[in-house]
A and B are shown apart, each in its own frame.
Chain A
Amino acid sequence: MELFNSESKKIVSDPINVNNPISLQVLGICSALAVTIRLDQAIIMTLAVVFVLCSSNVILSLIRNYIPARVRIVIMLSVIASLVSVVDELLKAYLYDMSKQLSVFVGLIITNCIIMGRAEAFALKHGPSKAFLDGLGNSMGYGLIIIVVSFFRELFGAGTITLPDGGAGYVLWSIPESWYAAGYENIGLLVLSPGAFIILGLVIWIQREFAGVEEDA
């Protein structure tokens, strides 16, 4: 089975750790921050990116021999834009509250550099099954980081942990009233944009310690 040998495993696991799209390839940061205010938004966004990246990688890899090199950017953009429109419409139909909260950031998956980057660097050079695995690995690497960031932002910023459900989100756990009575306070800054930058900066630092990568700049 081609799908389960060690090379395939490496294609999936590398982007989650040592070649993480956000912290090491520095792709797709744009949308990574805006959706990390609450955990449920990050989870839905991850699912959307998994869908778009896997499908765009497979589609582009299937037609890779028919795409003239000069117009490949336009073709990639139109495939990606169609897939994102599908996701956008699906969210509007089945998860209306969520689609309101994510607002323009679902549309901005089109310009998420991870998708273009993986199409250009991988899907146009490999077969569909490998391209699928690469898409899966990279979108999960992306998801891992934004889920970690949103977990900390929501827990320390708003004092809750919210999971996605059909409506406004299901609150799994929130900091009990007695803590607040004892003098605990939420860090309001984390909910605002500076908090996102700082938490992501720290997460990138920690992730690079694990992956053992340095940059000279």
Chain B
Amino acid sequence: MTGIEHYLSIFTKAVFIENIVLAYFLGLCSFLAISKKIDASVGIGLAVIVVLTITAPINWFLWEFLLDKGALVWISSDFQDTDLGFLKLIVFISVIAAMVQLVEMFMERFSQSLYNSLGIFLPLIAVNCSILGGSLFMVEREYTISETVVYGFGSGVGFFLAIVALASIRYRIRYSNIPPRLRGVGMAMLLTGLLSMAFMAFSGIDL
């Protein structure tokens, strides 16, 4: 299970078949709020790719060497039965909040233009469920470190694809005659439903 096909399969699965937004409903808050504008959606999509690709592997290391049952054996064999799994939520969310802050500082220092385009979205991402969800799925599916990197990146790309697609559709229907109370979020939900139906066509594809 180490061939390149295996990783390609995890990647396509994360992007198309088990798209984090359209199949698992994660990150919908920012998905709906920001998809009004295409540039902004591209911005937050890129920021999600960056943060997910960084936080998922870091949380993998913490899980594997600190929190999982028997993970502390590398300190001493007395910790064979120690299970700190109940701390995972609080640890993961702090890592995510800290990483978002770090990524923001790095960007500000080294790439002013990227910071200007992504800067305002980064704080929002700390509470985007797709990031925490990525880490939690990684634990639940028992991925290895390289699988985690691929999965994190793939989920980010999936989010990017979904939000840019929805923003483009919303842009196209600006002047459509929608019933007044359905405008905005209601219509966005129906459109997401159709998008999700389209993505379901990918299910069953296996590399």
Chain A residues within CB distance 8 Å of chain B: 23, 26-34, 73-74, 77-78, 81-82, 84-85, 88-89, 103-104, 107-108, 110-113, 116, 189, 192-198, 200-202, 204-205, 208-209, 213-217
Contacts and interface: CB of A to CB of B under 8 A. Distances in A.
Contacts of A201: 182, 186-190, 192-193
B204 interface: no
A194 B199 CA distance: 9
Contacts of B182: 201, 205, 208
Contacts of A89: 86
Contacts of B196: 193-194, 197
B192 A197 contact: yes
Provide the main secondary structure of the chain B interface: helix
Contacts, number: 135
Contacts of A200: 189
Nearest to A34: B25
B188 to A, nearest CB: 8
Contact of B140 (A103, A110, A116): A103
A74 B32 contact: no
A180 B132 CA distance: 42
Contacts of B194: 194
7 contacts: A30-B129, A31-B25, A85-B87, A113-B29, A205-B182, A208-B182, A217-B170
